[in-house]
Amino acid sequence: MECDWFENIKIDNFIIFASVMAKKIEKTNAARLLDKAGISYRLIPYEFDENDLAAQHVADSLGQDIARVFKTLVLHGDRTGHIVCVVPGNTEVDLKALAKVSGNKKVEMIAMKDLLSVTGYIRGGCSPIGMKKRFPTYFHSTALSFDTIYVSAGVRGLQIEISPADIVAFTGASVADVAC
């Protein structure tokens, strides 16, 4: 569905009203959950490339610092089962640190083939909000150094810009140094 909206454009001290066709953004389950909780956020679309689902591509598409674009990783702990780790796009999860803070001796990434059945999300569209089940979640501590961060909205091509304090509280996450 498309809708018209108007934008003021100032050229040589003249204001021109330009009609711009804007594509309506469909709300995801993650967005609906945030709405229901009364949490403020913005949905930000971007062009995705199935051959390049890396966080750097997302950051470049958004025109944002890669340190503000967080990726959601799902792991399995030997004692706790599935856990979620949300780290800046320019880092990797520190498996030893995550194991320690999560009460595990060892953690490892789940197989990509299991991501959909475990979370309800696909690679490149995994959000820490609205997974099939609520898993223990850990955000890297740098998230709290920003006014807002970006996480997947639950589909490829759409990010949620949100206050890190709000998403940490909503997901019941812990904050720790879990990236390197």
pLDDT in tens, 113-152: 999 999 999 999 999 999 999 999 999 999 999 999 999 9
Q: Helix, strand, or coil here: 145? A: helix
* pLDDT grade for 110, boundaries at 50, 70 and 90: very high
Place of tokens 């850990």: 138
Please state the rounded mean pLDDT for residues 83-107: 97
The pLDDT > 90 percentage for the chain reads 75
Query: What does each C-alpha distance from 88 to 64, 104, 180 come to in angstroms?
Result: 12, 22, 10
What contacts 94, CB < 8 A, 6 or more positions away? 177, 178, 179, 180
Res. 63: pLDDT tops 90: yes
Res. 14: pLDDT tops 90: no
Structure tokens at 8: 């003021």
Please list the residues that pair with 108 across neighbouring strands.
76
Alpha helix positions (H), the chain: 29-37, 55-62, 95-102, 115-119, 164-171
Place of tokens 């330009």: 18
Q: Helix, strand, or coil here: 53? A: coil
Residue 41 and residue 162 in contact, taking contact as beta carbons nearer than 8 Å: yes
Res. 29: pLDDT tops 80: yes
Sign, CA dihedral 152-93-105-176, equals negative
Residue 54 and residue 123 in contact, taking contact as beta carbons nearer than 8 Å: no
Tell me which H or E stretch contains 76. Answer: strand 70-77
Measured CA to CA, the distance from residue 48 to residue 85 in angstroms comes to: 22
The pLDDT score that the predictor gives to residue 46 is 87
Q: Helix, strand, or coil here: 139? A: strand
* pLDDT grade for 10, boundaries at 50, 70 and 90: very low
Strand pairing of 137-140 and 81-88? parallel
Can you point out the beta strands (E) in the chain? 2-11, 14-23, 41-45, 70-77, 81-88, 107-109, 137-140, 149-152, 158-162, 174-176
For the chain, list the domains and their CATH numbers. Answer: 27-176 (3.90.960.10)
